[in-house]
Structure 1
């Protein structure tokens, strides 16, 4: 199966950060407009800088690259442009539904309000959808408003998300440094969201382990887990006489599996940030295949297309090359994502039908 074949397939992107999906040339042009210094003067060299800085094996170091991307996203025009190009790039990659997460509180340095930045991003997303549809393709997108878990504005951002739920926002997330900043710190925000019936996904099981996942499920009432790969810490495998392998799920893993709580895995990013370091440092060591074979609701995502120098089609291609997946497997990943999308039941069924139709024609 070639990358071109995968690009043509209908895909669902659930975990894709707006400030991690800028085009290098756009960064240079926006930085020039506001007088922000960049570490490279041309797009190719700037991409190489992101490649180097993102392969540290540390989530903390990985996150430092966002100082540059958020630095150029501080005006309404810049936010709208980045959002528009983001959707254009999703459409070019064959994505038919994308949830785009970002943290509005990181874009207030030049005097914009929280509502201003959400509206600016939505205007860009709408323009991007129109651009994609003008090419004869179909795409739908929604905003996932994220609160930075270390900045203690969770309730305020949750209220922002609810205010805009009928104007493009489809859900809430918490992002940023995971280790040491458990979801329980924002329990008031999650209580409010539950009362308002607002969908929630929570970054957990990336830079921290089972305790973080437990808090996401209990305190955050998470409907999906952002990355979630360290749920594998709650899985025990043992080989006995012969070739038989026995697998035992702990209580957290069993809960996540039984309730089909989607895992928003991002293979390349998980390698870059060290999320799977305890199992190895190559894609073959990623617990993705174990989770898939055990029946977990795994989904495939990019996390940050710029930092990982990737696309959703590339991530799927890497899994095909590593684990030998075929078209049916790729369809399963997309159907898992469609089922977990923060859409109405009818809209999720339409999305499922679109994916099934697209894969049948492949």
Structure 2
């Protein structure tokens, strides 16, 4: 056995080992999903219980106007947290329709130049619209996929991203509120109780403060990250691929532009606007169930209509089997193999029209 053959064999064994480990980890994450939800609910319930039994009674009399006002405010925060958390778990993020399969007519995806502009998932054997990615845990393509969240036991995608973002926002606000309320008896000069006299209550307030502060710190980073993604019209996955495209363009002396970035206000509106009538920013403040505006396949593009973003798709021009494109018929076995190769996951490709 030659050295080259041995190296190739070792490389194949290592790749197979990595794939096996990834499959085991994916199965473990999917299996542990309900446990993550149970842990999240336990932490939230613990903070809520301690707040109502130790923090709030230590700051205000529950029968006073201030106490009733804090009861209402805290109940409003809790309701919005659980409302958005529940529907983020329950809402299917969405998968692309079977618009293109091996036997479908590819001519409907051609541009004016007659060159098809599509991405292809070789696992699902279907087309991949912009910002659609294959989740190796859910085993399917997800529309506008951001990430697979084990705490939701679900992918965060087109249909449930608004619930996820509002959940983070209200949970972050609830942590700030709890930290501020718990700091009054802990650090205030006019504390309503003394620690030596109420050790159990003091420990409850201190534990609530520390737990809420830790959760506030982690949520600040996560919420800030997703606000940045919303304002720049990106997902977590696309952020890294766009960064690489920007570097490649810079090396060639050009500037890469995100075609879906329509400006901060419009980007924010595109996330929170729904198909139903109403003021779009109220979707942030009020618990509201509605489908996002659009179909998750076509998005507004700075280069033209929403269809242009789907048809052009900011990727390289692919050369497809001529026998299939000529008559729109199903490709033969050789063409099918070629089709799968040229349309295989091309996440790193980018279209020259995005550079100025």
Question: If the length of structure 1 is used for normalisation, what is the TM-score?
Answer: 0.26
Calculate the TM-score normalised by the size of structure 2: 0.26
Question: Which structure has the higher relative contact order (CA within 8 Å, separation 6+)?
Answer: 2
Higher helix share: 2
Give the strand-richer structure, 1 or 2: 1
Larger radius of gyration: 2
